[in-house]
Amino acid sequence: MTRTQLVEQIFLKKSYLCIGLDTDLQKIPKHLLQADDPIFEFNRQIIDATHDLCVSYKPNLAFYESLGIKGWQALEKTMDYISKKHFTIADAKRGDIGNTSKMYAKAFFETFDFDAVTVAPYMGADSVTPFLEFKNKWVILLALTSNQGSKDFQLHHQLYEEVLRKAQNWGTVENLMFVVGATHPHQFESIRKIVPNHFLLVPGVGAQGGDLEQLTHFGKNEQVGLLVNSSRAILYAGNGKDFAEKARAEALKVQQAMAQLLLKR
């Protein structure tokens, strides 16, 4: 998906919501465990209930890899089911030397046909650029994450700012995004001075307590430039047979809030 197509979907749906498909067999409704593929069945119903409210889906690869071949099959079926009008993100956090990165890129961009993959920057440019060689595909580079451990390195001497300054030259605004956690709303203003035009993937809204209004105020640019992820708060809003309806209700709350925030200048 191109940047133009993504921006069109955001303004069409009045939404910059990304739904994380962190599908956990221990948390999905018990009645789904009788299905041939419980993970896919859960994902299918979530997608059916929310597809008009979000612009992106983000499967977290750990929840699929942990199940072996059955998990990979569920992921493949999920990817086939998601509309091409949705921006798909492989939340894989890969990053290794060139040849290995190239194989990771082929796995996610060719085999599974994701639009984007999350990548760790620690090993430097030659571990990231192989992902950037694929047309109309995106790297989403970790910059400032939403977890407590971000204080250990990312916030130490503002290391995340150096990542933003250096890495923005590895790609363009057409194929490179950055992860910036919603739990750091006041850093968005300084981040936008460094990368004013890049898209930001923002985890941490919902269960992690990030504030949608604050991050939008400080982080939005002229083309919105944000994909705000919510996972658990939507996926597990209910655990009965009406789980998909409750997930939709939660996603609708977020989408309506986003629609109002898009009206503000």
Query: pLDDT of 177-200, one tens digit each?
Result: 999 998 777 889 999 999 999 999
pLDDT band at 152 (very low <50, low <70, confident <90, very high): confident
Q: Tell me the H-state helices in the chain.
A: 3-13, 38-50, 62-65, 69-81, 98-106, 125-128, 159-167, 187-194, 212-219, 232-235, 243-263
213 has a pLDDT exceeding 70: yes
What average pLDDT score do residues 64-91 get? Answer: 98
Read off the tokens for 197: 């035009």
d(CA 217, CA 250): 22
23, 87, 102, 198 alpha-carbon torsion, rounded to 10°: -120
Flag whether pLDDT at 6 surpasses 80. yes
| 93 flagged as catalytic | yes
Nearest to 185, CA basis, from 162, 203, 163: 203
Please, which pLDDT band fits residue 154 given cuts at 50, 70 and 90?
Answer: confident
In this prediction, residues 161-179 reach a mean pLDDT of 96
Q: By the 8 A CB rule, do 127 and 97 touch?
A: yes
**Cβ contact 183:231 at 8 Å:** no
Phi, psi torsion values for 207, nearest 5 degrees: -60, -30
Which band of pLDDT confidence, cut at 50, 70 and 90, is reported for residue 98?
Answer: confident
Residue 202 neighbours by CB under 8 Å, 6+ apart: 179, 180, 181, 182, 210, 215, 219, 226, 227, 228, 229
pLDDT at 139 > cutoff 80:
yes
Range of the domain at 204: 3-263
Please count the other Cβ atoms lying within 10 Å of the Cβ belonging to residue 260. 12
User: What's the confidence (pLDDT) of residue 209?
Assistant: 65
| Percentage of the chain lying above the pLDDT 90 cut | 85
pLDDT band of residue 208 (cuts 50, 70, 90) is low
Per the confidence metrics, is the pTM higher than 0.85?
yes
Mean pLDDT check: name the lowest of 54-63, 104-113, 176-185. 176-185
Per the structure, the count of domains in the chain is 1
- Whether pLDDT at 203 is above 80: yes
Q: Can you tell me the distance from the alpha carbon of 262 to that of 257, in angstroms, rounded to the nearest whole number?
A: 9
- Greatest CA separation for the chain: 51
Give yes or no for residue 149 having a pLDDT over 90.
no
Of 14, 77, 85, 93, which is the active-site residue?
A: 93
* 239: pLDDT strictly greater than 90: yes
* Residue 243 belongs to domain with CATH number: 3.20.20.70
CA distances from 240 to 128, 156, 237, 244 (A): 42, 44, 10, 9
Average pLDDT of span 146-150: 79
Q: Give the whole-angstrom CA distance, residue 47 versus residue 80.
A: 12
Which amino acid, residue 143? A
Residue 153 pLDDT more than 80?
no
